[in-house]
Structures are given as structure tokens and as C-alpha cells.
Amino acid sequence: MTNYDAVIVGAGPAGIFAAAELVESGKKVFIADKGRLISERQCPIAAGQVRSCVNCDSCAVVSGWGGAGSASDGKLTLTAGFGGNLEEYIGRVALCSLIDRVDEAFVRFGADPHYYEAGGETARDAIRRAAQAGLRILPARIRHIGTDASRVVLNNMYEDLSTKCDIRMNAAVDDLLVENGKAVGVRFEDGTEVRGEHVVVSPGREGATWLEKIIGRLKLPIASMPVDIGVRVEVSDSVCELLTREFYEVKCLYNTPTFDDRCRTFCMNPSGYVVHEFNQAHRLVTVNGHSLKNKKSGNTNFAILVTKNFTQPFSDPIGYATHVAKLANMLAGGSVLVQRLGDLRDGRRSTQARIDRGMVEPTASAQPGDLSLVLPHRYVMDIVEFLDALNQIMPGVNHSDTLLYGVEIKLYSLRLELEKNLAVPSIGGLWMIGDGAGVSRGIVQAAASGVVAARAIALG
């Protein structure tokens, strides 16, 4: 049996960059992922084979080489201000250096060298108007790769790494092997094992449920339990284009007046498309968005997410979020719901006829319905109040014909108490990185977290 220096679970950005860093240090590396190669990832909806989610065993949108980010716009947020918690572990100076390191790698493998960085009078005026409405705009450098171009970049990374380490795709890991207080490898669902001196866990958001079970079995200490629940908003490009030309993605934070909940915009996609995601572990369909480099719609979509950090005795944030999503699937007959904002305000379900005569033509197939029967009342209030505030900088975003798709959830595992280098303190040789482990919330910081762990492993 081959014994590796490091066994990596998950081939998203965290796992890919951890592997790249380790092989540069001369380490023998094994990567496993339950999904397919990027060249084989094709959603049946995007291929025009079906109109709604058919619950693939491995969802091409969220699983496989490159992780979920590869199919949701391939957007690189080049700032330390948001995108995860890595600054808490390594400090801002080190994080900024790693962001540059990650960005350089993406460009080297084919990402568009152009980036967006708002600095003109339009941007300054938007920030001023936002502040008057209680909104905080977070300026950032944004490099937009595009979902289609992202496939090329990530395939280039695969071709490079596949000659330097062992990679096993379509291989779901069942459990971690821990002996005498030390991680020594992984066991796959087919019963086979791979062993190594270190185990690096980077399952992404899709693997958060699996990781939660591992955390429970190993009784690892928990730091916090975050969960994001919300909707995906779709409007005409004209509503947002003055800002998206400057910012590309407008990132806003807002504390709602009624409940004082923290809300944020997430993953804005100019001229983009709303897409379905299938979570195999929970058998549920959720919603996301992306945009392409070479194909444009006439709509912009973005998420509004309400962030809650739960505390003891509650210990199942993933269960809570998936329960809400299942309600939407139940009412939508196994799909996702879509509702006009005007209908939500008026307390009535949307119909296909009202959507068809509206000003926004949907880019995704969804069942017209009533999100107020799915989301808790405070979430509905948060979303409506946030849209009213956004209207101060995006006139028309709170129009009655604005479409809301539900639900969108972001699953992060129970955030663990980790050492500064992302090692698990209670188990030797075990490392937790990326979105699924609650360390990051996006491609760049996920990749950076992989570099952090890999450098610590290389130093021995």
C-alpha cells in the first residue's frame, strides 16, 4: 500500500492549491473527490436535456474538480475584507500576500488578466448614497473568469497537477482513519483505504454535512455555527449596470431596521443566469447564479443572504437550513420556487401568467409560488427591507416584477477551534481548510487556506 505525505479530501480550490504547494515542496500527494473532472461536469439543465433538476448522484454544479466556485461564475474577490475568516488565523498582511499568490496562479493558468476596481466618481457617489440608506458597500478588486472560461483554467490546473500527484475522482470518502490520536488516511465508500502522514480535509460546502458527521464522531471542539439563508434576486441588467460597470460585483452589508439582522449581497452576476444546485446528502434542490464569458443574458442576479450564528444548546445549523430548503422543494414539487416581489409584498403566491407579463424574463425554470410559506417571517422582512435600501443605489431593484428564487443556502460545517496553521489541535496530522470547514467563504480564501496548511505540513 502506497503511503503518501498528504491525503487531500476534496478537489475544490482549497484542495487544489494545497496539493500544488505540497508537490512544489517535494511531497507525495493524493487527492480524492466524489465528483467528476471539470471536463466531464455538465448539468443536464444547462445542456438543454431537461427543464428542472433531476437529482444527479453527483451534482455537476457543486461537485467535482474545481469545486462549486467553478460553476458559479469563477469570480475571484481579491481583498482581505471579506470572503472568509482566514485573517483571524494568519493576520491581514499574510492574507494579502496569499491573495496575490492565488491570483497570480489563476492568471498563469489562463484567467483573464483584467480586473475590476471601482474608484471613479460613480463608485464614490454610490458609496455616499448607500451610507445614507444604512448600507455599507465593500469595495474590492474583482477578477471575473466566467463559468465557461473557468473550466479551461481549472482543466489547465488539472493537467499540470496530474503529472505530479495521484488523483482519484468519482471516489466518495466515507470516513477518516484515526489511530492512536493521529489521522493516518481515509476510507472510501467502496471499502478501500489510502494512507498518509497527513490528512487535509477540504470538502467544500457540498461536503459540509459529511464533515459535520466526522466532527461529531471525533468529538472535535466547535467555535461557532454559522448558516446563511436567503433568496436569489433577478432583475434586468439596466437596474444594476451603472454600478456593475464600476464594481462588477456590488458587495453590500445591511443591518435590517426591524430585527437588526445582518444581511449581505452575494455572488452578483451581470448578464448572468440563475441555476439549480442539487445537494445529494439531503436530496434537495437549491438555487445559485453564474455568468459566462462568452454568452450573456439580459438579466443580473445576486443573492440576499441573512447570516445567523447559532449558539448552544442548538447544534444543527445545517439541519435548520436544509429544513427550510426542503419546504421550498415540497411546495415546488421537487424544484425551486420563484415569486414576484410585488406578490410577496401583497401576501399572494405568484402565478405563471403574472410572471410572464412582468418586466423580468426568468433565466431559470422554477415553480411560481409563495416564499412566505417557506421562509420565517423575519427572513422575509429582512429581504424586503434590504431591497428597499438597495433601491437607493439601484433604482428599480425593489420593483414589483423583481423575481425572487428560493431558497439559497450556504452550508458551512460547524466551525472548529483550529490552530493558526489550520491544524486540528486534538488530532495529530489532521487539517481543515476551505468553505466546508467554515474557514473561508469563496474561491480565493479557500485556495489561500490550502496554501496555509500545505506550508505548515512542508515545514514538518
Gap between the Cα atoms of 252 and 301, Å rounded: 14
| 374 plus 435 within the same structural domain | no
Is a pLDDT exceeding 90 seen at residue 118?
no
Given 410, 432, 447, the domain boundary residue is 410
When pLDDT is averaged across residues 314-321 and rounded to a whole number, the result is 82
CA distance 451 to 460: 14
What is the mean pLDDT of the segment spanning 219-240? 88
CA gap 250, 265 in Å, rounded? 8
* pLDDT of res. 57: 72
pLDDT at residue 224, as a whole number? 62
- Does one domain contain both 424 and 381? no
User: Is the pLDDT score of 158 beyond 80?
Assistant: yes
Pick the range with the lowest mean pLDDT from 16-30, 54-68, 139-153, 170-184: 54-68
> What's the pLDDT band for 281 if we cut at 50, 70, 90?
confident
**Domain for residue 136, yes or no?**
no
pLDDT at residue 408 is higher than 90: yes
pLDDT higher at 316 or 395: 395
Asked if 143 contacts 75 with a C-beta cutoff of 8 angstroms, the reply is yes
> Which helix (H) or strand (E) segment is 31 a member of?
strand 29-32
Same domain, 211 and 248: no
Residue 129 lies in a domain: no
Residue 343 lies in a domain: yes
CA distance linking residue 325 with residue 48, whole number of Å: 25
299: pLDDT strictly greater than 90: yes
**Secondary structure (DSSP) of 111-141:** --S--EE--SHHHHHHHHHHHHTTEEE---E
In this predicted structure, the answer to whether residue 226 has a pLDDT above a threshold of 80 is no
- 205 pLDDT band, cuts 50/70/90, is confident
User: Please, how many CA atoms are within 13 Å of residue 216, restricted to the half-sphere of its CB?
Assistant: 9
Residue 37 backbone dihedrals phi, psi, to 5 degrees: -65, 155
Residues 292/100, Cβ–Cβ less than 8 Å: no
Q: pTM of the predicted model, to two decimals?
A: 0.84
Q: Report whether pLDDT(2) > 80.
A: no
Question: Structural domain of residue 200, as residue ranges?
Answer: 3-74+79-114+145-221+417-459
- Indicate whether 435 and 367 sit together in one domain: no
Q: Are residues 104 and 243 in the same domain?
A: no
The predicted structure's pLDDT at residue 56: 76
pLDDT for 244 equals: 93
What confidence tier does 311 reach under pLDDT thresholds 50, 70, 90? low
Give the C-alpha separation, 391 to 304, whole Å: 14
- CATH code at position 197: 3.50.50.60
Average pLDDT over residues 205-233: 84
Q: Are 353 and 329 found together in one domain?
A: yes
**Residue 283 belongs to a domain:** yes
The percentage of residues in the chain with a pLDDT greater than 70, rounded to a whole number, is 95
Same domain? 382 vs 257: yes
What does pLDDT average to over the chain?
91
Higher-confidence residue: 194 or 2? 194
Q: Are residues 254 and 393 in the same domain?
A: yes
Q: Residue written as cell 439580459?
A: 298
Strand 193-201, strand 430-432: pairing? parallel
Q: Are 345 and 209 found together in one domain?
A: no
Asked if residue 354 is part of any domain, the answer here is yes
pLDDT over threshold 90, residue 186? yes
Looking at residue 72, what is its pLDDT? 63
The answer to whether position 88 is within a domain reads yes
Same domain, 250 and 378: yes
Q: Domain check: are 101 and 61 in the same one?
A: yes
The mean pLDDT value for 195-216 works out to 90
Our count of domains for the chain comes to 2
Query: Which pLDDT does position 427 carry in this prediction?
Result: 96
**pLDDT tens digits for 32-75?**
999 998 888 877 776 677 767 767 777 767 778 988 776 667 78
Sequence-ordered list of residues with C-beta below 8 angstroms from that of 410, at least 6 positions apart, any chain: 205, 227, 228, 266, 305, 441
pLDDT tens by residue, 211-223 = 888 988 998 877 6
Percent of the chain residues past pLDDT 90, beyond the cut: 70
DSSP, collapsed to helix, strand or coil, labels residue 439 as coil
User: Cα–Cα distance between 226 and 307 in angstroms, integer?
Assistant: 7
Among residues 137, 127, 135, which one has the least CA distance to residue 389? 135
| Residue 293 within any structural domain of the chain | yes
Co-location of 289 and 344 in the same domain: yes
Position 120 in a domain:
no
Task: Enumerate the H helices of 274-400 as residue ranges.
Answer: 317-331, 341-346, 352-356, 377-390
